[in-house]
Amino acid sequence: MKAAVFTQYGGPEVLQLQSVAKPSPKDHEILIRIQATAVNSGDCRLRKADPFAVRFFFGLFKPGKPILGGVLSGTVEAVGSKVTTFRVGDSVFGATQLQFGAYAEYICLPETGALAIKPTHFSHDEAAALPFGGTTAYHFVQQARIQPGQNVLVYGASGAVGSTVVQMAKYFGARVTGVCSTANLALVKHLGADEVLDYTQTDFSKTGEQYDVVFETVNKAPVSACLAVLRKNGTLVLSAAMLPEMLRGAWAARSSGIRFVAGMATETPEAIRFVQQLAEGGQLKAVVDKKFSLDDIVAAHAYVDKGHKKGNVVMQVP
């Protein structure tokens, strides 16, 4: 089968298309013919080994997992002898739970993994755009314990995670303010935000508004600015934070009594099923910025590296 392989850390050019062995499902696994995957910021960080600590988990001198790609949508082509959850021909979507390997034509995953039947009215391209932002947003929205009527700010509201947080926060009854660039104001409003701030024109930390929950989803807003608009006993969520931001958030929690949430999101079957439920019910829209072919993997990564994508960059696997 064809796959995008990288054997060293670096820029987009380290990704090369190669022919590799097609996997076969074990007893409790399903073989999925991948129709679409997505390129997200996590993929790019692993490719670059940025931060350096990535190397301690995925290979100090070279990548331990040479095929990236953590999300997919496709068709079940074969099942293991003891599989009961899925059948050949099922259209499925989901996440690989750190196994990666979705930059390829086929993948084997356990039937108990973060997989579900593809939402009925979603194309494979749209379904592949759901899992990364969906599982991340679900994890942090659950941690934030959003309640009906709360005032929630989402910084980076047009990104893969932020656009999903906006929709999930609305689902749970919050009043949502999104912060994004001029070009994405209409998109974020379309996703359900009650108010949208253009960060090129307005400093959200100086509007005088206070929020029960502040989500910083792109690690670009200063922690001090997020704290400035957080109500007493409010919740600060730094879903994309690195160690310096985590330390600042933890110190603020200890010194001022706010709740602080950060860390790595977990891709669980429960999260995928919740994403599926919202998508089927019309409460979750897929946001697709651009589409590339697997043959254009280098160009897809170069585009994501620019840091200005809205929603997701989908990669079609012909």
**pLDDT class of 57 with cuts at 50, 70, 90:** confident
Q: Which of 318, 316, 266 is nearest to 290 (CA)?
A: 316
Count how many domains the chain has: 2
Asked if 138 and 257 sit in the same domain, the reply is yes
Question: If you average pLDDT over residues 128-144, what whole number do you get?
Answer: 97
**pLDDT class of 54 with cuts at 50, 70, 90:** confident
**pLDDT class of 138 with cuts at 50, 70, 90:** very high
Per-residue pLDDT of 2-53, as tens digits, reads 999 999 999 999 999 999 999 999 999 999 999 999 999 999 999 999 888 8
Q: Is residue 239 part of a domain?
A: yes
- Among the ranges given (131-140, 248-257, 294-303), the one the predictor scored with the smallest mean pLDDT: 248-257
Q: What is the CATH number of the domain that holds 115?
A: 3.90.180.10
Asked if 123 and 153 sit in the same domain, the reply is no
**pLDDT class of 71 with cuts at 50, 70, 90:** very high
Per-residue pLDDT, 257: 87
Q: Extract the tokens encoding 255.
A: 């010194």
Q: Is residue 268 part of a domain?
A: no
Per-residue pLDDT of 237-272, as tens digits, reads 999 999 999 999 999 999 998 999 999 998 999 999
Residue 317 has pLDDT above 90, yes or no: yes
Q: Is residue 52 part of a domain?
A: yes
Q: Is residue 276 part of a domain?
A: no
Q: Is residue 270 part of a domain?
A: no
**∠295-298-302 over CA atoms, to 5°?**
140
**In a 3-state reduction of DSSP, which class is residue 179?**
strand
Quote the domain boundaries for residue 172: 133-262
Question: If you average pLDDT over residues 110-137, what whole number do you get?
Answer: 97
Asked if 138 and 123 sit in the same domain, the reply is no
Q: Is residue 161 part of a domain?
A: yes
Q: Is residue 230 part of a domain?
A: yes
Asked if 250 and 293 sit in the same domain, the reply is no
**pLDDT class of 119 with cuts at 50, 70, 90:** very high
Q: What pTM value is reported for the model? A: 0.95
Asked if 25 and 122 sit in the same domain, the reply is yes
Rounded to the nearest 5°, which phi and psi values hold at 281?
-85, 0
Per-residue pLDDT, 53: 86
Residue 62 has pLDDT above 90, yes or no: yes
Asked if 199 and 250 sit in the same domain, the reply is yes
Asked if 308 and 253 sit in the same domain, the reply is no
Per-residue pLDDT, 82: 98
Per-residue pLDDT, 51: 87
How high does pLDDT run on average in the chain? 96
C-alpha span between 244 and 252 (Å, rounded): 13
Asked if 184 and 229 sit in the same domain, the reply is yes
Asked if 125 and 42 sit in the same domain, the reply is yes
Q: What is the CATH number of the domain that holds 240?
A: 3.40.50.720
Asked if 107 and 183 sit in the same domain, the reply is no
Q: Is residue 195 part of a domain?
A: yes
- CA-based end-to-end distance of the chain: 12
Bond into 51 cis (ω within 30): yes
Asked if 117 and 161 sit in the same domain, the reply is no
Asked if 197 and 230 sit in the same domain, the reply is yes
Per-residue pLDDT, 308: 87
Per-residue pLDDT of 182-215, as tens digits, reads 999 999 999 999 999 999 999 999 999 999 999 9
Q: Which of 94, 79, 121, 141 is nearest to 272 (CA)?
A: 94
